[in-house]
Amino acid sequence: MSSFDENDAFEGASLSARAMAALRPEADYLNELNPAQREAVELLDGPILMLAGAGTGKTKALTTRIAHLLNTGRARPNEILAVTFTNKAAREMKERVGRLLGQPAEGMPWLGTFHSICVKLLRRHAELAGLKSNFTILDTDDQLRLLKQLVQAANIDDKRWPARMLAGIIDDWKNRALTPDKVPTADAGAYNNKGVELYAQYQTRLGELNAVDFGDLLLHMVTIFQTHPDVLEQYQRWFRYILVDEYQDTNIAQYLWLRLLAGGHKNICCVGDDDQSIYGWRGAEVGNILRFEKDFPGAHVVRLEQNYRSTPHILAAASNVIRGNESRLGKELWTDKPEGEKVRLIGHWDGEEEARWIGEEIDAMQGGTRGVRPMNLDEMAILVRASHQMRAFEDRFLTIGLPYKVIGGPRFYERMEIRDAMAYFRLVVSPEDDLAFERIVNTPKRGLGDKAQQTIQRTAREHGVSLVQGARIAVEQGLIKGKGGAALRELVEGLARWNAMTRGPRIEIEDDAVIDDGTAPVRYGPPEVSHIELAQIVLDESGYTAHWQNDKTPEAPGRLENLKELVNQLDNFENLQGFLEHVSLVMDNEQDSGGPKVSIMTLHAAKGLEFPAVFLPGWEDGLFPSQRSMDESGLKGLEEERRLAYVGITRAEEVCTISFAANRRVFGQWQNAMPSRFIDELPEDHVEVLTPPGLYGGGQMSAGIETRAAQANVYNSPGWKRMQARQGQYGMSQPRESRNTVIDATAVASFTLGERVFHQKFGYGGVVGIEGDKVEVEFDKAGTKKVVAQYLSAKDDVPF
Ligand code: ATP
Ligand code: MG
């Protein structure tokens, strides 16, 4: 390149940009690209659309383009606006740019998510939205409280018209960039004809509070740009280059915001894949990407067809599945990677067996005994459709001591709804648990605010009793008035009733059993309801289930499913107490080793990521594709589910394992499931059906399983028949009784140091410490853990 050309290339760039330029010979990173990608990187001016399938290097081209803009001095770091969907993706993008430049990409203030960028912008221009620059951002709870006040003031029956419903409607309008005056007449009937009016009141109220909700961040910025051309022009000049990843998932507000900002220079580069649009349920419009050429006439469209991520078998499987969708552009992908493993498919008896098998498989792959190269834990990921599926894996991995991390959300036992439910269970088992009481006294909302709670605390202190007792006294003495008082009475009575249900009727005993101090030992018969039923009763009667049923936010159905999963799991234990102990022990034993970990996440959170080995469990109709999504959106919903399947398979580089279970437990009851219809869409030539070792065909069904299965009428179900018919086709593990670990609480024993012992969950080990009723055991497989003595048996007692 002559020096003349070089100067030309810098035209329009500032001196400092020129000085920063040419940090690294550009040939280095450009040579890593194919010609189509290079085009997308080197054509720096004007609109560009990269519309291409998974793993074709869209994000790679996008990040290289950023590096190239910086490296050639076309733009300074703060002149580039780069938007993506998650904080994780934003961090990765920054790292990739840094790697390409050969030094950390410092000072890219405008690389981030839509929301993070809009917060910054809105702080600078708050006054144009009637706000002060220190405005607060409300969370969904605050938002709801505010809406409830407005709904009450308007004399609307919020039983029939829950405030959460209004919250959902308003979010939807905000996603569509509609301020109250712009809501179309077609929507006038929303929320019993009061929706628009309440929306307007809500916005006024937010202004008075100097607050915004999440949707406002974009809505306010779009409105400001639309009504203040001078401000818009300033940013059009400022952001000289705009880049957007995952463009197929933008909603209307995001789309308008981008179109306004790019309206001047039109230096906008959008990349995406219509086959990976998975946020329709949150207002994303795949039409945005399909309309790009109309919005930006003369746009350069780059198509990429070579996939660099996955082996041919994996790619063929993904392509075949997505072909089932009618509404798509249709793209063909190819790869020159070596053939590798076929996509592996396996059927299991139930979800616990599936988790157990995957745990073993991960172990084997780590050790390199699975026919594939040995892999690190951080090269493997489990991608689930619904977050409640994570519980089985987390439990299993905690048990065998397999390090894992949950991406994009808390771990199962750390979820809000799980902790709430457990707090109820703890109180039922032990009414002295004050921490648990504090957690649930006003959850769901019972009108027991700070003042009422202080009254309870004071009463308990004065009488030297637990909070539950204190609450009872406060109720009896009428210390808490009105609705709150009545609700507290209901809670206190409920707790007493549920606690009584943990036992059967009191057994009268004979006089000679009276011991020295004159008291008789108290004995109870076996409880009349099972602990599983009791758990359900507690969640229902306390109003906790209804609390989430009435919740209209997108997260609510998932939370209800997690609660069901919690109840399901109780089947593995004899009583609530045993279960609570299990949870506190597994959580307590858990320490962060800091080393590599298996990732567990939802398919939604996996967008844009890649892993050498991917497990896709739970491919059953109703779970995946999700029944809810099909019920709500029909064929459109099914197609979105299929796109999720495509996203899932295309995350895998070398090994992709799909599995399903014939049975899942719902509310402690077996329900049979049919293999997902997407399994039928996998191309046979590219799939290998696995048979779990030693289980296929020969497995004897134990009496216990047989009875339970018969109860659930599994064998007459079409799902089971279809499954049997397919057994030859897909490997099917036979049930194993050992899976069902009911803990034998009578196996109390005294142990000595060094003794070999057996634990139902953790397996064999040696005693290394004894502390009251807790025994510290170094387990062969699960590491060192403290366990309650009664769950251990001396090795010789193991009933095998
Ligand atoms: P998705 O649609 O899943 O977001 P994508 O199109 O963004 O995928 P990338 O993540 O950019 O794809 O790239 C997929 C993989 O292929 C990455 O590991 C990347 O480094 C590699 N890759 C991309 N382009 C090339 C290339 N030209 N030569 C070699 N490897 C490449
Ligand atoms: Mg990508």
Q: Is the pLDDT of residue 176 over 50?
A: yes
Strand 80-84: give its sheet, edge to edge: 111-113, 80-84, 241-244, 268-272, 48-51, 300-302
Give residue 280 CA to ligand 2 midpoint distance, Å: 18
752 touches 761 (CB < 8 A): no
Kindly list the structural domains of the chain, giving each domain's residue range(s) and its CATH number in brackets, ordered by start: 6-124+218-306 (3.40.50.300), 136-209 (1.10.10.160), 343-403+593-728 (3.40.50.300), 416-559 (1.10.486.10), 743-797 (2.30.30.140)
d(CA 539, CA 531): 12
Q: Which atom of ligand 1 sits closest to the CA of residue 52?
A: 6
User: What pLDDT shows up at residue 457?
Assistant: 93
Q: Is the pLDDT of residue 49 over 60?
A: yes
Give residue 770 CA to ligand 2 midpoint distance, Å: 53
User: What pLDDT shows up at residue 43?
Assistant: 92
Q: Is the pLDDT of residue 121 over 80?
A: yes
- Tell me the per-residue pLDDT of 596-650, one tens digit each, with 9 for 90 and over: 999 999 999 899 999 999 999 999 999 999 988 888 888 999 999 999 999 999 9
For the ranges 122-126, 176-180, 209-213, 518-522, the lowest mean pLDDT is seen at 518-522
Q: Is the pLDDT of residue 784 over 90?
A: no
Q: What letter represents residue 783's amino acid?
A: G
Query: What confidence category does residue 516 fall into, taking pLDDT thresholds of 50, 70 and 90?
Result: low
- Tell me the per-residue pLDDT of 207-239, one tens digit each, with 9 for 90 and over: 988 889 889 999 999 999 999 999 999 999 999
| Residue 26 bears catalytic tag | no
User: What pLDDT shows up at residue 500?
Assistant: 92
User: What pLDDT shows up at residue 719?
Assistant: 41
Q: Is the pLDDT of residue 265 over 50?
A: yes
Determine the 3-state secondary structure of 689 from DSSP: strand
272 lines ligand 1 (CB under 6 A): no
Nearest to 657 by CA among 595, 730, 727: 730
- Tell me the per-residue pLDDT of 238-257, one tens digit each, with 9 for 90 and over: 999 999 999 999 999 999 99
761, HSE (Cβ side, Cα atoms, 13 Å): 28
Question: Which strand (E) or helix (H) includes residue 11?
Answer: none
Per residue, the 3-state secondary structure of 410-430, as one string, reads: CCHHHCHHHHHHHHHHHHHHC
Query: What's phi and psi for 141, nearest 5 deg?
Result: -65, -50
DSSP 660-678: EEEEEEETTEEEE-PBPHH
DSSP 97-166: HHHHHTS-----TTEEEHHHHHHHHHHHTGGGGT--TT-EE--HHHHHHHHHHHHHHTT--TTTS-HHHH
96 lines ligand 1 (CB under 6 A): no
Q: Is the pLDDT of residue 343 over 70?
A: yes
Q: Is the pLDDT of residue 721 over 50?
A: no
Query: What DSSP designation does 306 have?
Result: B
Residue labelled with tokens 């000289």 = 240
Q: How do 48-51 and 300-302 pair as beta strands?
A: parallel
Of 37, 56, 59, 569, catalytic: 59
Which whole number is the average pLDDT over 40-56? 94
Beta-bridge partner residues of 570: none
Question: Which strand (E) or helix (H) includes residue 172?
Answer: helix 163-175
Of 64, 72, 248, 276, catalytic: 276
Which whole number is the average pLDDT over 118-138? 89
Which whole number is the average pLDDT over 171-180? 95
Q: Is the pLDDT of residue 734 over 70?
A: no
Determine the 3-state secondary structure of 386 from DSSP: coil
**For the chain, first and last CA: distance in Å?**
78
User: What pLDDT shows up at residue 66?
Assistant: 95
For the ranges 318-332, 629-643, 735-749, the lowest mean pLDDT is seen at 735-749
- Tell me the per-residue pLDDT of 181-191, one tens digit each, with 9 for 90 and over: 999 999 999 99
Question: Which strand (E) or helix (H) includes residue 771?
Answer: strand 763-771
608 lines ligand 1 (CB under 6 A): yes
What percent of the chain clears pLDDT 90, i.e. is strictly above it?
Answer: 51
Q: Is the pLDDT of residue 737 over 50?
A: no
User: What pLDDT shows up at residue 795?
Assistant: 61
d(CA 348, CA 561): 21
381 touches 651 (CB < 8 A): yes
Q: Angle at which helices 252-262 and 163-175 pack, to 10 degrees? A: 30
Q: Is the pLDDT of residue 791 over 60?
A: yes
Beta-bridge partner residues of 348: 661
Q: Is the pLDDT of residue 363 over 50?
A: yes
Give residue 259 CA to ligand 1 midpoint distance, Å: 27
Give residue 84 CA to ligand 2 midpoint distance, Å: 10
Provide the 10 A C-beta neighbour count for residue 513: 9
| Residue 631 bears catalytic tag | no
User: What pLDDT shows up at residue 781?
Assistant: 73
Q: How do 300-302 and 611-616 pair as beta strands?
A: unpaired
Which whole number is the average pLDDT over 279-304? 88
pTM of the predicted protein model: 0.72
| Residue 450 bears catalytic tag | no
User: What pLDDT shows up at residue 158?
Assistant: 82
User: What pLDDT shows up at residue 712?
Assistant: 39
Q: Angle at which helices 114-124 and 214-227 pack, to 10 degrees? A: 60
668, HSE (Cβ side, Cα atoms, 13 Å): 13
User: What pLDDT shows up at residue 446?
Assistant: 94
Over the chain, what is the mean pLDDT?
83
d(CA 338, CA 679): 24
Q: Is the pLDDT of residue 7 over 90?
A: no
319 touches 62 (CB < 8 A): no
Which whole number is the average pLDDT over 424-446? 90
DSSP 438-487: HHHTTSS--S--HHHHHHHHHHHHHHT--HHHHHHHHHHTT-S-HHHHHH
Of 56, 58, 337, 443, catalytic: 58
| Residue 508 bears catalytic tag | no
Torsion sign (Cα): 126, 132, 133, 134: negative
d(CA 349, CA 361): 16
Nearest to 104 by CA among 162, 23, 178, 45: 23
Query: What confidence category does residue 104 fall into, taking pLDDT thresholds of 50, 70 and 90?
Result: confident
Which whole number is the average pLDDT over 406-410? 77
Which whole number is the average pLDDT over 411-437? 88
Query: What confidence category does residue 330 fall into, taking pLDDT thresholds of 50, 70 and 90?
Result: confident
User: What pLDDT shows up at residue 574?
Assistant: 84
Which whole number is the average pLDDT over 557-566? 88
Query: What confidence category does residue 531 fall into, taking pLDDT thresholds of 50, 70 and 90?
Result: very high
